[in-house]
Amino acid sequence: MISWLCFEWQTGKVPETGSLVAPLVIRQAEKSEEEGVGKVLKSAFAVDSGWGDVNRTVESILTSATEHVFAEPAPHCLVVLHGSRVIGASLLADANAENHLISGPCILHEYRNRGLASALLAASLGYLAKLDVKAARGFTRANSITARFIYPKFGGTSRPFDGDPLKVEAD
């Protein structure tokens, strides 16, 4: 049986983070970056062995969610850029969603362990605060790297989630 956690943050309590060192930057995605975002999300989950048994399901959900997010005039997506290359992405949902961090902070494998996922999480929570999301939620597997090292940051608290987050709509 798969154990899931729902993390929650009070967005008003998330500290501002410093800017990244050039040529790295975090900003809202542009419509032209949809393909790059899709590649980052697919790669991030494909190389993480903790998702191997549900990778096809996750890939299908993220492909659909990416199309949905990028159909909007201003996509609710943040990207981490190294120069003009998309090396990280975070798909986000509006205030009415059950899961605000659709993809969670995803970073290409060769750029991991540099604090980029934490910086992207902080930027994502700040972005959600601007969307008037008071309590942001994100789901992950209980023993995942995200659950152990990323989501507890910035006051993130967890609780077991009995449902199937892979079936949660990404409105």
Q: Which residue intervals of the chain are DSSP H helices?
A: 34-46, 55-70, 116-130, 145
Q: Which residues contact 42 (CB under 8 A, 6 or more apart)?
A: 59, 62, 63
* C-alpha gyration radius of the chain: 14
Q: Which residues of 119-128 are buried (b: 16+ CB within 10 A; e: fewer)?
A: bbbbbbbbbb
Whole-model pTM? Answer: 0.89
Task: Write the CA distances from 141 to 50, 91, 102, 132, 160, integer angstroms.
Answer: 8, 18, 14, 27, 10
Q: What is the pLDDT of residue 52?
A: 65
Asked whether residue 59 is domain-assigned, the answer is yes
Asked whether residue 45 is domain-assigned, the answer is yes
Q: Which residues of 23-54 are buried (b: 16+ CB within 10 A; e: fewer)?
A: ebebeebeeebbebbbebbbbbbeebebbeee
Q: How confident is the model at residue 57 (pLDDT cuts 50, 70, 90)?
A: confident
List pLDDT tens digits, range 140-169: 988 888 888 999 999 899 998 886 666 644
Q: What are phi and psi of 132, to 5 degrees?
A: 70, 30
CATH of the domain at 70: 3.40.630.30
Strand order in the sheet with 4-10: 135-141, 4-10, 157-161
Asked whether residue 144 is domain-assigned, the answer is no
Asked whether residue 165 is domain-assigned, the answer is no
Which run of H or of E encompasses 3?
Answer: none
Instruction: Decide: helix, strand or coil at residue 92.
Output: strand
Asked whether residue 79 is domain-assigned, the answer is yes
* Mean pLDDT, rounded, for 131-147: 90
Per the structure, the count of domains in the chain is: 1
Residue 25 has pLDDT above 50, yes or no: yes
Asked whether residue 39 is domain-assigned, the answer is yes
List pLDDT tens digits, range 58-116: 788 889 999 999 999 999 999 999 999 999 999 999 889 999 999 999 999 999 989 99
Tell me the residue range of the domain where 21 lies. Answer: 16-139
Asked whether residue 158 is domain-assigned, the answer is no
Residue that wins the pLDDT comparison between 52 and 122: 122
Asked whether residue 75 is domain-assigned, the answer is yes
Cα separation, 145 vs 142, whole angstroms: 9
